[in-house]
Amino acid sequence: MTTRTSASADVRASTTAPESRATFTSHLGVIAATLGSAIGLGNIWKFPSLTGTNGGAAFLITYLFATLLVGLPVMIAEISIGRTIRADPITGLRRLAPRQVWWVIGAMGIVSSFLIMAFYTEVVGWVLAFIVAAATGQLQTTSPETLGAHFAQQIGDPAQSILWQWVVLAIVSGIIAFGVTKGIEATTKRLLPILFGLLVLIGIRSLMLPGAGQGLAFLFVPDFSKVTPAVILAALGLAFFKLSLGMGAMMTYGSYFRNDQNIPGTATRVMLADLLVSLLAGVAIFPAVFSFGFEPQAGPALLFITLPAVFAAIPFGQVLLVLFFVLAAIAAVGAMLSMIEVPITSLMGMLGWDRRRATVATLVGLVLFGAPAALSNSVLANAKLFGKTPFDLYDFLTSNLLLPLGGLLICVFVGWFWGLDQFAAALGNPPGQPSALTKALFVLLRFVSPILLVIVLINGLIPA
Ligand code: PHE
């Protein structure tokens, strides 16, 4: 019944005047939803593995610069466009710039959303499977070989991979069917405090281990000789993925922002809180890894092989490991809600569908798109295009091409098409009086971020 009520409210919101589009109901709700989108496997899976493979603290600092110079300005730009259009990205950009092609930002976003969801849901599927494995004691061994074999078997089983992906899709679409307020806002508000609590708990436990200082030094004492162009690129890519930029997710959430919401303030808070979660994940993982003499360079295996080995050696490690995977799953929910909302709101806005129909159609699309990613380590392990399995290809296409390109177009749109006055108006500055902050952001968006993004794009396209 609730579903029906909120679904019809959303239909009204999307088909009538822009003012009646659903919005987040409180400042806290806005922060929760936006932060919920930013926080995800990016913090718990990508951040530690990239930090581990790219030299620790030096990578962290590079990533900080990328976030400040590119991430934050693009995030503010994307949200401000969203709040101005108060529609799905395609419909809104068409209205804002008739007879021009800026709507491709929205179209590309839908493609990105499907591609990211396809591999993201698969990784969340592994996380769910690992919750079960950890809870039933299957991961209670300190042998990386045994754990490696377990992981290989898990991702190499086609039926299991598909089924876990469907479980994830079912959960996410179940939540999103409740709509913007009762689905997205209510869920993220409840889950985020649990997430912070769990992370702090595991972090404290990890810090109490003998030799924890080495892990902290790895994370916080930089060795700048480690900063190579490749490291800078990885940091820029992560900054983008982390803040959910360049695919219309933040634009869509911006369209639910209240008019009195301070966009730069909100974006900055979200950026800082997201960073805090990444740092907490680092503090939870690296001291433990060093304490037990493991290598921090394990990459993606860090979460699924190294970490279980580390936890197996700690008192109460099994409970903590279960908690850690639960936490990863919780973090992923808000991120997936924002990804899936992009095609859903677009279908509602462009075809006039109700939320339920749009959700079902998107779900069918995701089952189809997701299957190749799910089968990438089994049936389709040899079905490679450009030397990449579908899973890797989806990841590569989005992080190295579509997201930076989307971000670049957003910078060019605001910096060169919209101009300072419109941007200032979108941020709620008084007419004709752009604030100093707005001006500084505008300079970043017009010159600095696009140049950096072009560098990312060019390098991302050159095969390593
Ligand atoms: N920011 C999310 C994370 O860190 C991923 C994401 C990317 C979400 C793009 C939405 C859009 O996991």
Cα-to-centroid distance, 237 and ligand 1 (Å): 12
The count of other CB atoms within 10 Å of the CB of residue 98 is 9
In this prediction, residue 18 has a pLDDT band, given cuts at 50, 70 and 90, of very low
3-state secondary structure 49-77: HHHHHCCCHHHHHHHHHHHHHHHHHHHHH
Out of 78, 119, 192, 241, give the residue to mutate to test ligand 1, the one with the largest number of ligand atoms within 8 Å of its CB.
241
- pLDDT(410) > 80: yes
Could you tell me where the DSSP H helices lie in 157-262?
Answer: 158-176, 179, 186-207, 212-220, 229-242, 249-254
Lowest mean pLDDT among 232-236, 325-329, 421-425: 232-236
Compute φ and ψ for 238, nearest 5 degrees: -65, -40
Mean pLDDT of 13-38: 73
What pLDDT is attached to residue 464?
Answer: 53
Cα-to-centroid distance, 36 and ligand 1 (Å): 9
Give the closest residue (by CA) to ligand 1 atom 7: 244
The atom of ligand 1 lying closest to the CA of 274 is 4
Three-class SS of residue 385? strand
Residues 181 and 334: beta-carbon distance below 8 Å: no
The atom of ligand 1 lying closest to the CA of 331 is 12
In 149-172, which positions are buried (b, 16+ CB within 10 angstroms) versus exposed (e)?
ebbeebbeebebbbebbbebbebb
What pLDDT is attached to residue 187?
Answer: 83
Out of 244, 339, 398, give the residue to mutate to test ligand 1, the one with the largest number of ligand atoms within 8 Å of its CB.
244
Cα-to-centroid distance, 243 and ligand 1 (Å): 6
Cα-to-centroid distance, 38 and ligand 1 (Å): 5
Out of 121, 252, 339, give the residue to mutate to test ligand 1, the one with the largest number of ligand atoms within 8 Å of its CB.
339
Distance, CA of 334 to CA of 41 (rounded, Å): 10
The atom of ligand 1 lying closest to the CA of 403 is 9
pLDDT digit string, tens, across residues 317-374: 898 889 889 888 988 999 999 999 999 999 999 999 999 999 999 999 999 999 999 9
Out of 303, 338, 399, 402, give the residue to mutate to test ligand 1, the one with the largest number of ligand atoms within 8 Å of its CB.
338
Distance, CA of 237 to CA of 456 (rounded, Å): 8
pLDDT digit string, tens, across residues 149-168: 999 999 999 999 999 999 99
Cα-to-centroid distance, 45 and ligand 1 (Å): 12
Cα-to-centroid distance, 271 and ligand 1 (Å): 13
First to last CA, the chain: 53
Residues 51 and 394: beta-carbon distance below 8 Å: no
Give the closest residue (by CA) to ligand 1 atom 10: 244
Could you tell me where the DSSP H helices lie in 375-464?
Answer: 390-397, 403-412, 419-426, 436-443, 449-461
User: Which amino acid is it at 136?
Assistant: T
Cα-to-centroid distance, 141 and ligand 1 (Å): 32
The atom of ligand 1 lying closest to the CA of 339 is 10
- pLDDT(288) > 90: no
Give the closest residue (by CA) to ligand 1 atom 4: 42
The atom of ligand 1 lying closest to the CA of 243 is 1
In this prediction, residue 12 has a pLDDT band, given cuts at 50, 70 and 90, of very low
Cα-to-centroid distance, 63 and ligand 1 (Å): 16
- pLDDT(9) > 70: no
Residues 244 and 12: beta-carbon distance below 8 Å: no
- pLDDT(251) > 50: yes
pLDDT digit string, tens, across residues 170-203: 999 888 888 888 888 888 888 888 888 888 888 8
Distance, CA of 158 to CA of 379 (rounded, Å): 7
Compute φ and ψ for 386, nearest 5 degrees: 50, 35
Cα-to-centroid distance, 40 and ligand 1 (Å): 6
Instruction: Share the mean pLDDT of the chain.
Output: 89
Q: What is the pTM of this model?
A: 0.91
Out of 34, 37, 41, 330, give the residue to mutate to test ligand 1, the one with the largest number of ligand atoms within 8 Å of its CB.
37
Mean pLDDT of 44-61: 92
Residue 19 or 233, more confident: 233
Q: Which residues line ligand 1 (CB under 6 A)?
A: 37-38, 40-43, 116, 241-242, 244, 247, 249, 335, 338-339
What pLDDT is attached to residue 331?
Answer: 87
In this prediction, residue 131 has a pLDDT band, given cuts at 50, 70 and 90, of very high
In this prediction, residue 463 has a pLDDT band, given cuts at 50, 70 and 90, of low
Three-class SS of residue 4? helix
Mean pLDDT of 105-117: 96
Distance, CA of 348 to CA of 341 (rounded, Å): 10
- Token pair, residue 170, equals 């079912």
Could you tell me where the DSSP H helices lie in 23-139?
Answer: 27-38, 41, 47-53, 57-66, 72-85, 89-96, 104-135
Out of 44, 242, 410, give the residue to mutate to test ligand 1, the one with the largest number of ligand atoms within 8 Å of its CB.
242
Cα-to-centroid distance, 137 and ligand 1 (Å): 31
What pLDDT is attached to residue 6?
Answer: 42
